[in-house]
Amino acid sequence: MSDALLFFVCLAAALCIRQFIGCAAVVKGRSMLSTLHPRDVMLAVRPPLLYRHIRRGDIVLCRYPGRYWRNLRFVPQTFVKRVVGLPGETIEIADGVVLIDGEPLSEPYLDPAHCRFRRSMPPRTLDTDEYFVMGDNRDNSNDSRSVGALKRSAIRARVAKVLFRLPSRKRKKRR
């Protein structure tokens, strides 16, 4: 087998794995503090291999409709969020407390230092293919509270494991 053919076979295999099985992703923002930190590298599993329905509490990679990278207007941005509301449920936020079908949601993963958010949101019933996602850092998260519920097709993968954290880059001081 020639080197060129071997290269293209490996490239095709890598693209198939990324598209249909899973991928590695890097956390870029602070919206999931203190669960995930900037520069955490995660293993994410694609929907066909989830082997189960998406559950409340799952951390997912999702895309918001109409959100693209600033310099690459054709490449959608991917966000990391936690699934809070499931299809058919009624979700409401009262003084910062998430209510599902009128009952307070237990959220042991939240850090009080990142949850001073106290605004309310009127009740909204999710459609049969909609999910409500939120960042764990409620004070600093662009999520379903502002962009609305996500269709199932907008959820790209489920985070299976945090692999490691990339070292921080030292910035050179300008003189």
134, burial (CB in 10 Å: exposed 0-12, middle 13-18, buried 19+):
buried
Residues 120-133, mean pLDDT to the nearest whole number: 96
Strand pairing class (40-45; 22-26): antiparallel
Q: In degrees rounded to 5, what are phi and psi of residue 52?
A: -165, 165
Q: How many CB atoms lie within 10 A of CB 113?
A: 10
Is 60 exceeded by the pLDDT of residue 155? yes
User: Any idea where the domains of the chain sit in the sequence?
Assistant: 3-165
C-alpha closest to that of 114 among 22, 169, 36, 44: 36
The pTM is what?
0.83
Instruction: Look up residue 79 and give its two tokens.
Output: 């966000």
Task: Give pLDDT tens digits for 87-99.
Answer: 999 999 998 899 9
Cα 31 to Cα 114: distance, rounded to the nearest angstrom: 9
Residues 37-57, mean pLDDT to the nearest whole number: 80
Q: How far apart are the first and last CA of the chain?
A: 54
Q: Is 81 an annotated catalytic residue?
A: yes
The fold for domain 3-165 equals: Umud Fragment, subunit A (2.10.109)
Among candidate residues 2, 31, 34, 173, the one labeled active-site is 31
Q: Is 120 an annotated catalytic residue?
A: no
Among candidate residues 81, 120, 153, 173, the one labeled active-site is 81
